[in-house]
Amino acid sequence: MFSKPKEKAATEQMLDLDRIPAHIAIIMDGNGRWAKARHLPRIAGHQQGMQTVKKVTIAASDLGVKVLTLYAFSTENWKRPSSEVNFLMQLPIKFFDTFVPDLIKNNVRVMVMGDISALPAPTQKVVNQAIADTAHCTGMILNFALNYGGRDEIIRATKAIAKRVQTGDLTADNVDESVLSQAMMTGSLGDLADPDLLIRTSGEERLSNFMLWQLAYSEFVFVDQHWPDFDGESLKAAITTFQGRHRRFGGLENK
Ligand code: V07
Ligand 1 centroid vs 146 CA: distance in angstroms?
8
Ligand 1 centroid vs 240 CA: distance in angstroms?
26
Q: Which atom of ligand 1 is nearest to the CA of 95?
A: 15
CA–CA dist 171, 148 (Å, integer)? 29
pTM of the entire predicted model: 0.94
Tell me the per-residue pLDDT of 205-227, one tens digit each, with 9 for 90 and over: 999 999 999 999 999 999 999 99
CA 157 to chain centre: 19
Confidence category of residue 13, pLDDT binned at 50, 70, 90: confident
CA–CA dist 139, 64 (Å, integer)? 9
- Kindly report the protein residue whose alpha carbon is nearest to atom 1 of ligand 1: 72
CA–CA dist 237, 129 (Å, integer)? 34
CA–CA dist 239, 216 (Å, integer)? 18
The overall average pLDDT reported for the chain is 94
Q: Which residues have a catalytic role annotated? A: 29, 77
Tell me the per-residue pLDDT of 61-112, one tens digit each, with 9 for 90 and over: 999 999 999 999 999 999 999 999 999 999 999 999 999 999 999 999 999 9
Q: Is the pLDDT of residue 155 over 60?
A: yes
What are the φ/ψ torsions at residue 13 (nearest 5 degrees)?
-105, 170
- Residue 95 Cβ inside 6 Å of ligand 1? The answer reads yes
Mutate which of 27, 31, 46 for ligand 1 pocket (most atoms within 8 A of beta carbon):
46
Mean pLDDT of the region 130-142: 98
DSSP one-letter code for 108: P
- Kindly report the protein residue whose alpha carbon is nearest to atom 14 of ligand 1: 92
Ligand 1 centroid vs 90 CA: distance in angstroms?
9
- Residue 99 Cβ inside 6 Å of ligand 1? The answer reads no
Confidence category of residue 251, pLDDT binned at 50, 70, 90: confident
Q: What's the pLDDT score for residue 227?
A: 98
